[in-house]
Structure 1
Amino acid sequence: MTTRNELRLLPWSGPEGKPCYLSTDDSDGHMSRLADNIEAVQIGMAAELLQQAREILDNEDAELEALRLLATALTAALRDALRVATSRGHLLAAREPPRS
């Protein structure tokens, strides 16, 4: 049986916002590749959003609504980036050889 430390946290949520995990020994399987691709898209979107945030924040005349939308988008991007970082951290820890 696979332990929780060996499960991969997927870059999407399940019902009611609960985390989804993948149990597989095949890091090149369909679900693993799908998760890898979604993570890459999420990180790419976060990079684009960061550039947009710089532009909006550099504009001293930015409207409150634009700032609210920016904060909402940044919150979602940060959530996704943290999920990717957590998932990758668990993957790295699971692959480390046991310490003697």
Structure 2
Amino acid sequence: MTMSNELRLLPWTGPDGKPCFLSTGDSDSYMSRLADNTESVQLGMATELLDRALDMLVTDTEPDDLSLLAKDLTGALRDTLRVATSRGHRLATPE
């Protein structure tokens, strides 16, 4: 049985919005690789969104566009924090 501090926080939530965890010691398992790929995509999307936000903030942007930008940035920040939390927990776990 895997200890609770060995659970990996996955980069997505369940249908009810609660965190999902993976219990495996195999970093090359299908689910581990899927989580790694999803984290990579999320971080890449956050980078692109940040670039778009920087461009929008130096031009005249409609309030509705700024509202959508804030919503998108909030989602990207949520995903990025989840990735950072997950990776931080894995760093703290002794091999």
User: Could you state the TM-score of these two structures normalised by the residue count of structure 2?
Assistant: 0.96
Runs of 4+ aligned structure 1 residues displaced above 3 Å come to none
Residue aligned with 1:10, SS: strand
Number of aligned pairs?
95
The reply to whether residue 9 of structure 1 matches residue 21 of structure 2 is no
The reply to whether residue 51 of structure 1 matches residue 51 of structure 2 is yes
Find the structure with the greater CA-based Rg: 1
- List runs of 5+ in structure 1 lacking aligned partners: none
- Paired residues for 1:18-33 under 5 Å: 18-33=18-33
Identity rate of aligned residues, in percent? 67
Moved more, 80-89 or 2-11: 2-11
RMSD: 0.9
Deviation of residue 15 (structure 1)?
A: 2.4
| Corresponding residue of 1:84 | 83
Deviations 1:31-77 (A, max 9, x none): 00000000000000000000000011011x21000100000000000
| Corresponding residue of 1:66 | 65
- List runs of 5+ in structure 2 lacking aligned partners: none
Query: Aligned letter for 1:63?
Result: E
Task: Measure, in 2, the Cα distance between the counterparts of 1:21 and 1:82.
Answer: 15
Query: Aligned letter for 1:62?
Result: T
Task: Measure, in 1, the Cα distance between the counterparts of 2:94 and 2:29.
Answer: 17
User: Could you state the TM-score of these two structures normalised by the residue count of structure 1?
Assistant: 0.92
